[in-house]
Amino acid sequence: MKMVKIFDTTLRDGEQSAGINLNVEEKLQIARQLARLNVDVIEAGFAIASPGDFAGVQAIAREIKGVTVCSLSRAVKADIERAWEALKEAEDPLIHTFLATSDIHMKYKLNKEPDKVVEMAVAAVKYAKSLCPKVEFSAEDATRSDWNFLCRILGEVIKAGATVINVPDTVGYIIPSEFGRLISYLKENTPGIDKVQVSVHCHNDLGLGVANSLAAVENGADQVECTINGLGERAGNAALEEIVMAIKTRAENFQAETRIHTEQLIRSSRLVSTLTGKPLQHNKAIVGTNAFSHEAGIHQDGMLKNRMTYEIMTPESVGLSQSEIVLGKHSGRHAVKNRLIELGYNLTETEIDQTYQRFIELADKKKEVSDSDLEALVRDEVYAMEDRFALDYLHVSTGNSTIPTATIRLKKDGELIQEASCGDGPIDAIYKAIDRIIQIKVKLDEYNIKAVTSGEDALGEVTVKVRENGNAYVGRGLSTDIIEASAIAYLHALNKISRSAKQKASPIFT
């Protein structure tokens, strides 16, 4: 079996999705989970793009072990230097530099002749190689490039020291049979290609990202670049979970395997969905809530007789538990700690104490606390950052013949401030009251509610996306009271805006 590497670019290309803005701690949470998932490469960001991107790449490079950590850079000396500055403390760093190679990009974007593009690519790879032992070169818009020119430029960057060459379908244009032929052609006609890894990066503009990636694997690609939940520019990237499970389920067809711990796929998907504020469609392959649900009578009958009649993989293989261990108010700290360890959380004793206190509070309100509840508590309590604004008191009056009114008291920089407001509904009234206290002008773009678990006493999670000066910020709130969760989510987003403004006043470069 050939080992196919999984290059995860959720934190770089995935974060470029419209409306996603992760802070450093959120990026670290995702990186830790990607390490548990056992991806081969984490593309942690585009270091020169912003101080926040640099800080994110650097934090991941410093902490995450056992995986290659990568930063993107243009084929420009300043970009490459910035990438290396962020990566240099990584256990296994990789500089990923790129340059467009299609006629349309060279003419209209680069305004360069092909010979000059080759010269720039070679210079960039040589410089990156002088800093870092591992260098990847991407031929941007490769699938609309002249095949012979691709062979030429890739051959030259291999000579210059590239250890990985990447063939991106940047605009999601190619179809699987054509992409398979391209990969075969490059492997047969590019000088030195047998000495490096061949990678592919497929976008999903025509819904073919996964199919194209798999066609490349069939034709000799060594690495696939993809994202959790298929996040990415425009229509997104090839979805990691779909590629991995296709290879695992049809291993005899691909004669290939990956190192991915597939039991971590569901947790990875849910974490990314929660932190990015991008909910999954219910029928999403592998990780959607309906992926292993059967409603039709014929299907149910077949499932009862033999699960393989309608399931080509087991729920357990992707991390769905058939029966979750349920904890209650009589469960002790030791039981909660053990369950957290089983769920993959490596917390300090202080963090376990914090989570346990929230667990006891929740257990008093609920009959049972499930794994999903516990994971939500960890995300909300342990990974929450210090906030400037905190909810102290909330009262809402509403009804079908009453004007919705909210009275709210916030702790703002340690001072208690109270306001009241009316609105079109209870949530609108709360948000207007908060706006009066905080005085940050924002536009509410999205408001989503979901139950973390089932039942009348389900823990509810609210996700909001607000926009301030053109920048989007996602906030999350968790409570058995959805009104309270709504207030917490809005405050979470406003606290991010406050932190962002503070960082801009004093940029973090190291």
Spatial distance between the Cα atoms of 96 and 137, rounded to a whole number of angstroms: 6
Alpha-carbon Rg for the chain in angstroms: 25
pLDDT > 50? residue 506 = no
**Which residue has better confidence, 365 or 129?**
129
Order of strands across the sheet that contains 389-399: 389-399, 402-412, 415-422
Both structure tokens of 140: 């941007």
Spatial distance between the Cα atoms of 292 and 57, rounded to a whole number of angstroms: 36
| pLDDT score of 323 | 43
In degrees and rounded to multiples of 5, residue 408 shows phi and psi of -135, 140
Using DSSP bridges, classify how beta strands 256-257 and 2-3 pair: parallel, antiparallel or unpaired: parallel
| pLDDT score of 420 | 95
| pLDDT score of 507 | 37
| pLDDT score of 502 | 65
Mean pLDDT over residues 186-210, rounded? 98
Mean pLDDT over residues 242-253, rounded? 97
Share of the chain above pLDDT 70, in %: 92
CATH, domain 389-505, list 3.40.1280.10, 3.40.190.170, 3.30.160.270, 3.40.50.410: 3.30.160.270
| pLDDT score of 453 | 65
| pLDDT score of 510 | 24
Judge contact between 80 and 96, C-beta under 8 A: no
What is the band of 186 on the pLDDT scale with cuts at 50, 70, 90?
Answer: very high
Mean pLDDT over residues 425-444, rounded? 93
175-181-182 Cα angle (round to 5): 85
Q: Of 3-7, 302-306, 429-433, 491-495, which gets the smallest average pLDDT?
A: 302-306
Q: Which amino acid is at 459?
A: L
In degrees and rounded to multiples of 5, residue 454 shows phi and psi of -95, 170
What is the band of 509 on the pLDDT scale with cuts at 50, 70, 90?
Answer: very low
Spatial distance between the Cα atoms of 125 and 96, rounded to a whole number of angstroms: 9
Look at domain 2-276 and name its CATH class: alpha beta
Question: Could you read off the pLDDT of 107-123 as tens digits, one per residue?
Answer: 999 999 999 999 999 99
pLDDT > 80? residue 224 = yes
**Which residue has better confidence, 270 or 206?**
206
In degrees and rounded to multiples of 5, residue 176 shows phi and psi of -55, -45
| pLDDT score of 36 | 96
What is the band of 497 on the pLDDT scale with cuts at 50, 70, 90?
Answer: confident
Residue from 456, 455, 466 nearest 492 by CA = 466
Share of the chain above pLDDT 90, in %: 63
Residues 6+ apart with CB under 8 A from 462: 447, 448, 449, 476, 477, 478, 482, 485, 486, 488, 489
Average pLDDT, the chain: 89
Both structure tokens of 476: 């999350």
Mean pLDDT over residues 444-450, rounded? 90
Predicted TM-score (pTM) of the model is 0.80
DSSP code of 268?
H
Spatial distance between the Cα atoms of 327 and 339, rounded to a whole number of angstroms: 9
| pLDDT score of 21 | 83
What residues does 465 pair with on adjacent strands?
446, 474
In degrees and rounded to multiples of 5, residue 352 shows phi and psi of -65, -40
Question: Could you read off the pLDDT of 376-415 as tens digits, one per residue?
Answer: 787 666 655 567 888 999 999 998 888 999 999 999 888 8
Residue from 403, 456, 408 nearest 432 by CA = 408
Mean pLDDT over residues 451-475, rounded? 81
Mean pLDDT over residues 458-466, rounded? 86
Judge contact between 39 and 9, C-beta under 8 A: no
Residue from 117, 134, 135 nearest 125 by CA = 135
Question: Could you read off the pLDDT of 140-177 as tens digits, one per residue?
Answer: 999 999 999 999 999 999 999 999 999 999 999 999 99
| pLDDT score of 268 | 95
| pLDDT score of 337 | 86
DSSP code of 384?
P
pLDDT > 90? residue 440 = no
Q: Where are the domains of the chain?
A: 2-276, 294-319, 333-381, 389-505
pLDDT > 90? residue 196 = yes
| Helix (H) or strand (E) segment spanning residue 282 | none
What is the band of 217 on the pLDDT scale with cuts at 50, 70, 90?
Answer: very high
| pLDDT score of 483 | 94
Question: Could you read off the pLDDT of 15-25 as tens digits, one per residue?
Answer: 988 778 898 99
What residues does 389 pair with on adjacent strands?
412
HEC profile for 127-193? HHHHHCCCEEEEEECHHHCCHHHHHHHHHHHHHHCCCEEEEEECCCCCCHHHHHHHHHHHHHHCCCH
| pLDDT score of 469 | 86
The CA distances from residue 15 to 187, 226, 454, in Å, are 31, 12, 30
What residues does 237 pair with on adjacent strands?
203
pLDDT > 70? residue 318 = yes
Question: Could you read off the pLDDT of 38-76 as tens digits, one per residue?
Answer: 999 999 999 999 999 999 999 999 999 999 999 999 999
Alpha-helix runs per DSSP H in 277-370: 297-305, 333-342, 349-365
